Structure 1
Amino acid sequence: MRPIYDNTTFRKAESDTIGSGVVVAHELMENAGRGCADRILAMDLPTATRFLVLAGQGNNGGDGLVIARYLALAGRQVRVVLVDHGSQPTELNAINRERLVEMAVRLDLISGFNDGIEIADNECVIDCIFGSGLQRPIAEWIAGVAEKVRRSGRRVIAIDQPSGVLDPALGQAGGGMVRAHHTLVLEALRTPLFFPETGEVYGQWEVVPIGLPEGAYQGCAPAMMLVELLDISGLLKHRSRFSHKGTHGHALLLAGGPGCYGAALLATKGCARSGVGLITLWAVNEVCEPAMVLWPDVMTICDNGLIEDIELIDPEKFMAIGVGPGMGRTKRTMDRVRQLLTTWRRPMVLDADALNVLAVERDLLELLGPHVVLTPHPKEMDGLLGSKSLSSYDRHLRTREFAMRTGCTVVLKGAFTAIHAPDGRVFINSTGNPGMAKGGSGDVLTGVLAGVLAQGYDVLNACLIAVFLHGLAGDLAASVLGQDAMRASDLADHLAEAWVRLRRPLNDPA
């Protein structure tokens, strides 16, 4: 897994490493500029025959000046606009300006509203005005520059981060920001990438190493960890040649109610592709009948509406239970969630209407524990928290505290779904796409997660596997159908191929 740092932690690690004498600051800037220039030269930019570098007064501007030098050395036409934002150029910035002057690279200066900036049709803009050291919203006139860049329609490549982005850890509302098509993030992943208020302006991004030694982050706690394919493949259990259906667990789904039959069917479809050995669906007759036709291998229990029936659930028979999709906001749902939280001690996933019960019956929060997984979307999470969050980062902090306080695991769904563990660690999922922002996608996840939990994975690993698998299936569906046309049912249809992709790195003989 790759660590994700907030900007303050990253900059401290960089500064401490330079201060220790292990690396030299100008070497890091040279590495950053050369590495970014190499990546830019490798990009497909068919309409850009020239480059415009917007360089600030700090070391991010210095990186841009180095990039300009390497582009010029590669024979590309490049000009630099120096953006004077009121501070003196850093030493390295000034040195690299002089080197460009010696090469006869064109340098222009702007310092306020009255200074215009023209962007030619054949220019690609490289944004190096402000980097990760920005501590406050940018000045209005610089925000105007950012807006002019946006309106130009030209390709924009940001270095380290788009100018104007504030680390959400600072707790300040952002102002104007450059909107990039591509961002070359220096050395390490940073938190602004993963929150909608800032992440949207990065466009496509990749990390460019700048030469910090491995020990640079020793003692620096990452804010989060990014989960990728090989991380998940390494968690998967081997399916023994001598295993049987009981070996792979028995999942129970409580889902579906009057008028909400589809949610239960989607959860069942997800569970059926989770790898679990046995599935029982407990639902109203209107759900059980089509389920028996669609999945003859799924057992069913027809719900007669009696709360006492819950007592018939054999804790020795079922390894995990998924509760909530389509159950409805009824007293029956409330009673069943309460009884399960009181009596059930094996892994349990609560989603949708089960979460709505917790938001209303707040005494039930005291019954949560390490065997419980909650899978809210942002609005449902705010309901669990008892009030609306100020921002997505505020919600992230409050969710982390909630998971630690209640002892449960929270899967906070979103563009980058975050798994909040009860020990305070946060894991960011790297799969998924906007085509999954459709009703029913979360129901599929509930079924997949219940099925993975039933196979005996510990709660955290089950969440990591299920969320990654679910997102990967969504990516595969989008690659065939497109993000616009794909539906939640298409996502479930691609779970089988997603499993194949996950198993492939293992060369699993099974």
Structure 2
Amino acid sequence: MKIFSKEQIYEGDKLTVERQKVSSTDLMERAGAQLFNWMHVRLQGAQVPIHIFCGIGNNGGDGLVLARHLILDGYNVKTYVVNCSDKRSKDFLINYDRIKNVTKEWPTLLSCKEDFPEINAQDIIVDAIFGIGLNRPVDTWVKDLFVHFRKSKAFTLSIDVPSGLDTDKVPQDEDAVVWASYTLSFVTPKLVFFLPETVKYTVQWEVLDIGLDVNFLSETATEVELIGKHEVLPVYKPRDKFSHKGQFGHSLIIGGSYGKIGAVTLAGRGALAAGAGLVSVYVPKCGYMPLQSSFPEAMVITDADEEKITNISFEMKPTVIGFGVGVGTDAKTIKAFEDFLKKNKTPLVIDADGINILTKKKTLLKLLPEQTILTPHPKELERLVGKWTDDFDKLEKVKAISKKHNLIIVIKGANTITVSQDKLYVNSTGNPGLATAGSGDVLTGVITGLISQGYNPLDASVFGVYLHGKSADIAVEDFGYQSLIASHVIDYLGEAYKDLFKQPEQPQVAEEPVDEKKK
């Protein structure tokens, strides 16, 4: 799913008005009607008090349309205008007049803290105050209103984005933002719904289709995409009946040190479960017996050193190499990695201590093959790109290093983001159960195994992150968040593949009751 910027949404609105020959007021009516439909399906006429707070711009106009529809359908609605400016948008004023025609109780004007209504925890708040158009600091009394919402503990529904939340900035003051229970976002989710520092401002979100021009939606390229099943299905490479292991490549995992051979085992098993035809592992001598006994499918190559990798030398010709899991940062290991990079032309996936080595000696970045994949966790990423001021600054720093060295960087997190040049791919799968030792090693193996089968590095990264998260989502149903371990993610990768082709269950429709009197 494309994630449009606010500038693109404005352009889409404008083109829709021109191409469909409708007015901006008609477009607002569509939006308000969709909001009403969403609420009506869930409330079914329930008489819970609904407090709709409208700004004086187009977001407020959407709120007024919603209020009018709810009033006409008999809901218990209180409407308020948050009078934060002397300027009113044209469409707001039109809908302000329209709501006066359906109720004797005109919207209440709020201008200061003393005007705030009483809101109970069982009520519903609809936040239609600012939307994506806010371009100035929130007034103190409006900030107090947002705090009033939170203190009420009422269910809070925001329209488009929680008011006070910029689509491209992290708020400096968390009290100057509405904390929404749910956000109904027009056309597209917003990037801020997925970033660690801003995800807290909406617990859940959903996209509403308001009928923007289809050509605009299909032809406009975006810098950000949300990755789900429909986005990865076209990437999937099915297998022919007469396939054999030689067609799916040879993955080599290089890593491990004394006490950390398990990381290599997990990565190697991840590569094999992702579909690699062959998997070899290159480890210190201490890893030979553990791997031969716990991972019989792998071929094992050992370094001359008993406890660490000191020289990377092999006769085989791997399709792809995953480097770094459990490898350590001993001086001899760093030297071995540098010597290896100087002669290597094979595609690379680098994780964990492999990234730490790169940060200790950043000149090595110049030796990486184009489209090398790095999979850092937050602390490793900080060592790589430096400290950032906020999540948007972090993304800019990652894009810069991606462009400079032609790298693909997988920023691991609740919504893992794959960065390639200026493009961001936000993953939709995964859960807190992945916050466990070894899950990153498995991801390294999965991505390595996909490249082994012929996926290009970007597709392998995006698809691998999706599969890894989906496997965890399926496994957590059996194990729960606390008891999910990295091996479970490997064990359920097959289920994640099968899920790609599962059709959603159709809801059962109850039969109409027979009226015995009419028989």
TM above 0.5? yes
Secondary structure of residue in 2 paired with 1:189: coil
Call closer, same or farther: CA 1:93–1:441 in 2, change over 3 Å. same
Aligned to 1:130: 130
Within 2, Cα distance between the matches of 1:237 and 1:216?
A: 30
Displacement of 1:120: 2.6
Q: Which moved more, 1:100-109 or 1:144-153?
A: 100-109
Alignment CA distance shift 1:408-1:450 (3 Å):
same
**Residue 434 (structure 1) aligned with residue 432 (structure 2):** yes
Task: State the partner residue of 1:453.
Answer: 451
RMSD after superposition: 2.4
Q: How many pairs does the alignment contain?
A: 499
1:281 aligns with 2:308: no
* CA distances 1:151-174 after superposition (whole Å, capped 9, x unpaired): 221111111000110122x58745
Q: Distance in 2 between matches of 1:78 and 1:473?
A: 44
Aligned to 1:346, what secondary structure does the other structure show? Answer: coil
Letter in 1 for 2:372: V
Partner of 1:475: 473
Deviation at 1:293, TM superposition (A): 2.6
**Deviation (angstroms), 1:212:** 1.4
The structural deviation recorded for 1:93 is 1.5
Is the 1:136–1:166 contact (alpha carbons within 8 Å) kept by the matching residues of 2? Answer: no
CA–CA distance in structure 2, aligned partners of residues 308 and 129 of structure 1: 62
Deviation at 1:329, TM superposition (A): 2.0
Note the C-alpha offset of 1:247: 1.2
Following superposition, the deviation at residue 61 of structure 1 comes to 0.8
1:7 matched residue in structure 2: 6
Matches of 1:7 and 1:325, distance apart in 2: 40
Counterpart code for 2:379 = K
Match for 2:486: what amino acid? A
Deviation of 1:111 after TM superposition, in Å, equals: 1.1
By how many angstroms is 1:371 displaced? 4.3
Aligned to 1:372: 372
Q: Does 1:402 align with 2:401?
A: yes
Which residue is 2:312 aligned to?
310
| Greater shift in the superposed pair: 21-30 or 354-363 | 21-30
Deviations 1:302-338 (A, max 9, x none): 3332867422243x2x111111111112123312321
Moved more, 124-133 or 410-419: 410-419
Q: Per the alignment, in what secondary structure is the counterpart of residue 439 of structure 1? A: coil
Cα distance change on mapping 1:112 and 1:250 into 2, 3 Å: same
Distance 2:73 2:338 in 1: 68
**Unmatched runs of 5 consecutive residues or more in structure 2:** 504-519
Please, which moves more after superposition, 63-72 or 138-147? 138-147
Taking a change above 3 Å as real, the CA distance of residues 62 and 473 of structure 1, as seen in their structure-2 partners, is: same
Contact 1:48 1:122 survives alignment (8 Å): no
* Range moving further from structure 2, 92-101 or 456-465: 92-101
The unaligned stretches of length 5 or more in structure 1 are 506-510
Give the C-alpha shift of residue 384 in structure 1. 1.5
1:356-381 per-position Cα deviation (integer Å, ceiling 9, x unaligned): 01111011111123241111123322
Quick check: 2:304–2:310 contact (8 Å CA) kept in 1? no
Give the superposition deviation at 1:73. Answer: 2.2
Cα deviation per residue 1:398-442 (whole Å; 9 max; x = unaligned)? 2112111101211121222222224x3222222112332333221
| Closer/same/farther in 2, CA of residues 149 and 464 from structure 1, 3 Å limit | same
| Contact map agreement 1:48 1:124 (CA 8 A) in 2 | no
Q: 1:216 to 1:263 in 2, by over 3 A?
A: same
User: CA separation in 2, counterparts of 1:106 and 1:494?
Assistant: 57
* Bigger RCO of structures 1 and 2 (CA < 8 A, at least 6 apart): 1
Return the letter of the residue paired with 1:359.
Answer: T
Counterpart of 1:200 in structure 2 is 200
- SS where residue 498 of structure 2 aligns? helix
Question: What is the CA-CA distance between 1:50 and the residue it aligns to?
Answer: 2.5
Partner in structure 2 of residue 443 of structure 1: 441
Partner residue, 1:233: 233
Structure 1 partner of 2:50: 51
Name the CA shift for 1:261/1:143 in 2 (closer, same or farther; >3 Å).
farther
Mapped partners of 1:183, 1:6: distance in 2: 17
1:146 aligns with 2:162: no
In structure 1, C-alpha distance between the alignment counterparts of 2:63 and 2:484, rounded to whole Å: 41
Task: Give, in angstroms, the shift of residue 207 of structure 1.
Answer: 0.9
**1:339-350 pair list within 5 angstroms:** 339-350=339-350
Match of 1:103 in 2: 102
Q: Which residue of 2 aligns with 1:189?
A: 189
Relative to structure 1, is the Cα distance of residues 90 and 114 closer, same or farther in structure 2, using a 3 angstrom cutoff?
same
Contact 2:254 2:323 in 1 (8 A): yes
Q: Secondary structure at 2:199's aligned position in 1? A: helix
Residues 41 and 287 of structure 1: CA distance in aligned 2, closer, same or farther (over 3 Å): farther
CA distance in 2, matches of 1:398, 1:157: 34
| Percent of aligned positions that are identical | 33
Q: CA deviation at 1:4?
A: 1.2
Shift in alpha-carbon separation, 1:258–1:141, aligned structure 2, 3 A: farther
2:27 corresponds to which residue? 28
User: Could you say which residue in structure 1 is the equivalent of 2:92?
Assistant: 93
1:239/1:391 Cα in 2 relative to 1: closer, same or farther (>3 Å)? same
1:332-353 deviation per Cα after TM superposition (whole angstroms, max 9, x unaligned): 3312321232222121100010
Of 107-116 and 466-475, more deviation after overlay is shown by: 107-116
Q: How far apart are residue 466 of structure 1 and its match?
A: 0.7
Q: Aligned pair 1:384/2:389, yes or no?
A: no
The answer as to whether partners of 1:165 and 1:174 remain within 8 angstroms in 2 is no
Give the match's secondary structure for 1:279: strand
Aligned equivalent of 1:499: 497
- For 2:443 and 2:171, the matched residues in 1 are separated by 34
CA distance in 1, matches of 2:479, 2:146: 35
CA distance 1:300–1:207, shift in 2 (3 Å):
same
Return the letter of the residue paired with 1:30. Answer: E
Match of 2:509?
none
Query: Structure 1 87/45 Cα, relative in aligned 2: closer, same or farther at 3 Å?
Result: farther
Deviation at 1:276, TM superposition (A): 0.9
The change in CA–CA distance for 1:121 and 1:190 in structure 2 (over 3 A counts) is closer
**What aligned pairs does 1:209-248 form with structure 2 within 5 A after superposition?**
209-216=209-216, 220-248=220-248
- Greater mean alpha carbon deviation, residues 392-401 or residues 114-123: 114-123
Aligned equivalent of 2:250? 250
TM-score normalised according to structure 2 size: 0.90
**In the aligned structure 2, how far is the partner of 1:181 from the partner of 1:286?**
52
Q: Is the 8 A contact 2:346 2:369 kept in 1?
A: no
Q: Cα offset for 1:123?
A: 1.3
CA distance 1:309–1:30, shift in 2 (3 Å):
same
Deviation at 1:195, TM superposition (A): 1.8
| Cα pair distance change 1:216/1:465, threshold 3 Å | closer
1:508 corresponds in structure 2 to none
Amino acid at match of 1:28: L
> What SS is found at the alignment partner of 1:52?
strand
